[in-house]
Structure formats: structure tokens, C-alpha cells
Amino acid sequence: MKRVTGLGGIFFKTKDPDAMKAWYERHLGINLDPSYGTSFEWRQAGDPERKGYTVWSPFPADTDYFAPSQKDFMVNYRVADLEGLLDLLRREGVEVVGEVHNFEYGKFAHVLDPEGNKVELWEPFDEAYGKMVDGKTTS
């Protein structure tokens, strides 16, 4: 069974997300959406016609989205079969946090690594996600 298929996103806490986004846009040329950050657009290795995305997003310092982790970052990994992987991870003794969340652009779940870092798993629906971010990506 495939487990992680790629990097889905990098999320980090910051004192001033808007100022951080403006700095990255001005100095590094990242095309930013004011509400979340940016999505880096790339092509699937096995099918260059299909797009894929990696999200970059600063969060407010007081967000509870990373909880129960106390870390200032969270990594999101792309997966092929979220429910199948979660079943396997549970059997392997990995702590699954919360339930699977379904959105039009994919399914999400969270696990904790051995040091208590919250890890987000994303089974993306790239076509739907691509429609959401069309024209707003960094590529």
C-alpha cells in the first residue's frame, strides 16, 4: 500500500500572518492569497498532464489548529488512500487525532508522531482544488 505520496503543505505559526505573507510576497515573489497563503503548482510524475499542489500557509500564533501539539509548525503529507492508511496506522499503534474531515478538495486526518508533532494527512482531489486556486498559485 502506498503511504505518503508527496508533500501537501507546510503550516507555521507567526505573530502577524498578514505581515509575514506580505514579506514573502515582496521579497521572495510568492503569489499569495490573502486568506490562506499560496499553493505551489507542479505536475504529477506519472502523468505530466495532471497538476498537483503543495500549500504554504502562515497561521496566527494563537491558533488551536495544531493542537494537541505545542509546536509552531505542522507538515501536511499527500496520501493516496486516507482511510486505508489510517486503518493501517492504527494497527501499528499510531495515535490518530480526531476524525476524517471531507471537503470538496480532499479528505483530511491527523496523527501524532513519537514527539507529539501533529501531522496532517491529505487525500487530495486535485481537480477540485485546482479550480479553487486557479490563477492564485505560485508555479
Cα 103 to Cα 11: distance, rounded to the nearest angstrom: 19
Give the closest residue to 66 by CA, choosing from 128, 107, 9, 126. 9
Q: What is the pLDDT of residue 75?
A: 97
The string of pLDDT tens digits covering residues 80-92 is 999 999 999 999 9
Give the closest residue to 122 by CA, choosing from 87, 86, 71, 88. 86
What stretches of 37-100 show up as alpha helix (H) in DSSP? 82-91
The string of pLDDT tens digits covering residues 15-28 is 999 999 999 999 99
Cα 87 to Cα 126: distance, rounded to the nearest angstrom: 23
The string of pLDDT tens digits covering residues 35-70 is 788 999 999 888 889 899 999 999 999 999 999 999
Cβ atoms of residues 82 and 98 within 8 Å: no
The domain locations on the chain are 4-138
> Which CATH number among 3.10.180.10, 3.40.50.720, 3.40.640.10, 3.30.2130.10 corresponds to the domain 4-138?
3.10.180.10
Grid coordinates in use for 79? 496520501
